[in-house]
């Protein structure tokens, strides 16, 4: 195994020295999907799949934590072979309990929604040509115009007027503007203040809005309590700005090598990129203990 995991912040690492030098092992592992488990072509390597399965087989709680909707998350759970446990969707707004005995294979245990009308109106004043998508608590999408293929998926997606979006309760709102950059979005969100919502800017001009106080971290904390796992026995691995709060929540946090510097600085360690199977490197290190 390539020793790619390196120390970033002062806490003890998962690798980078003798395996005997650090015997810490988590009881709950939270994993982002895009850029962590899957690359941006949606490829899941055999090595990553095997590492995730091997960790789960040891009895560690493997929890997927993603910005994807419920319907976009389920196929990834299937590809990983995860049929029991928990999953966090929609950046913390929707939590699933996986149950192989349930007809659908899961049940929705928690859903948090908010009134997006004020923030949508404010954003539209500054981004009149942007695409807006609202995800309902049931996982359906209302769009002001079609998104590029593959960006938003699910069985119930339809185009609706802006006024209809503003009149619905949402568990997540997505704003996409091809005419702007990620830096433009960062500048805009800081200038507007964005009160009353939690938000994260993506790699491109993509903005995710969630209910105030809701994040991957808030949902994971609820799951941690239900499982009675100690706070310091948690590990998080991710690559995006929507993983920063999850990094702060975790006992130890690992950023993928493909993360930007403003994400890496919040992690304890940096592993290889998704194309280098950086997640597998982290999980295989755990399995060696």
pLDDT tens digits along 122-141: 999 999 999 999 999 888 89
Q: Looking at the structure, tell me whether residues 201 and 283 fall in a common domain.
A: no
Residue 166: closest CA among 144, 182, 181, 187: 144
- Strands in 85-89's sheet, in edge-to-edge order, are 6-7, 269-270, 252-255, 234-238, 28-31, 61-65, 85-89, 94-98, 106-111
All residue ranges of the chain with pLDDT < 50 are 1-12, 15-21
The reported pTM is: 0.89
Same domain membership, residue 35 and residue 82: yes
pLDDT value for 193: 83
255 and 267, same domain (yes or no): yes
Answer yes or no: is 37 within a domain. yes
The answer to whether 36 and 239 have CB atoms below 8 angstroms apart is yes
Q: Are residues 133 and 88 in the same domain?
A: no
Domain count, the chain: 2
Domain boundary among 195, 211, 227: 211
Instruction: Please check whether residue 173 lies inside any domain of the structure.
Output: yes
Tell whether 68 and 122 lie within a shared domain: no
Same domain, 131 and 261: no
Is 189 among the domain residues?
yes
- Which residues, 6 or more positions from 249, have their beta carbon under 8 angstroms from its beta carbon? 216, 217, 220, 221, 234, 236
Same domain, 122 and 186: yes
pLDDT of residue 3: 41
- What percent of the chain shows pLDDT beyond 70? 92
Residues 20 and 143 in one domain: no
pLDDT for position 14: 61
Asked whether residue 158 is domain-assigned, the answer is yes
Among 155, 177, 211, the domain-final residue is 211
* Sequence-separated contacts (24+) of 151-155 with Cβ below 8 Å: 151/176, 152/69, 152/72, 153/69, 153/71, 153/72, 154/69, 154/71, 154/72, 155/71
pLDDT in tens, 132-167: 999 998 888 999 999 888 888 888 899 999 999 999
Residue 1 covered by a domain: no
Amino acid 192: pLDDT: 87
The predicted structure's pLDDT at residue 21: 46
Cβ burial 14-49 (10 Å sphere, 16+ → b, else e): bbbeeeeebeebbbbbbbbbbbbbbbeeeeebeebe
Q: Is 124 in the same domain as 204?
A: yes
Q: Are residues 204 and 221 in the same domain?
A: no
Q: Domain limits at 71?
A: 6-112+215-287
Residue ending a domain, among 180, 211, 242, is: 211
pLDDT number for residue 15: 46
């Amino acid at each position: 195994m390539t020793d790619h995991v390196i120390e970033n912040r002062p806490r003890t690492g998962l690798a980078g020295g003798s395996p005997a030098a650090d015997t810490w092992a988590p009881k709950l592992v939270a994993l982002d999907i895009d850029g962590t488990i899957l690359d941006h072509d949606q490829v899941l390597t055999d090595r990553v799949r095997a590492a995730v399965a091997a960790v789960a087989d040891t009895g560690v709680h493997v929890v997927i934590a993603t910005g994807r909707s419920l319907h976009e998350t389920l196929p990834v759970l299937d590809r990983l072979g995860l049929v029991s446990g928990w999953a966090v969707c929609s950046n913390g707004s929707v939590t699933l309990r996986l149950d192989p005995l349930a007809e659908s294979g899961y049940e929705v245990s928690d859903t948090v929604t908010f009134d997006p009308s004020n923030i949508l109106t404010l954003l539209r004043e500054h981004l009149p040509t942007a695409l807006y998508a609202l995800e309902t608590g049931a996982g359906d999408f209302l769009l002001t115009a079609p998104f590029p293929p593959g960006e938003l998926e699910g069985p119930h997606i339809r185009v609706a007027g802006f006024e209809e979006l503003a009149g619905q309760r949402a568990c997540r709102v997505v704003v996409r503007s091809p005419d702007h950059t990620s830096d433009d979005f960062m500048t805009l969100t800081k200038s507007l203040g964005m009160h009353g919502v939690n938000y994260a800017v993506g790699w491109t001009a993509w903005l995710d809005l969630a209910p105030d106080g809701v994040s991957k971290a808030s949902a994971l904390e609820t799951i941690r309590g239900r499982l009675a796992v100690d706070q310091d026995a948690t590990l998080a691995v991710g690559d995006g700005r929507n993983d920063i709060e999850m990094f702060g929540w975790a006992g130890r946090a690992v950023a993928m090598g493909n993360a930007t510097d403003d994400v890496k600085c919040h992690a304890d360690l940096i592993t290889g990129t998704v194309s280098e199977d950086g997640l597998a490197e982290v999980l295989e290190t755990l399995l060696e203990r």
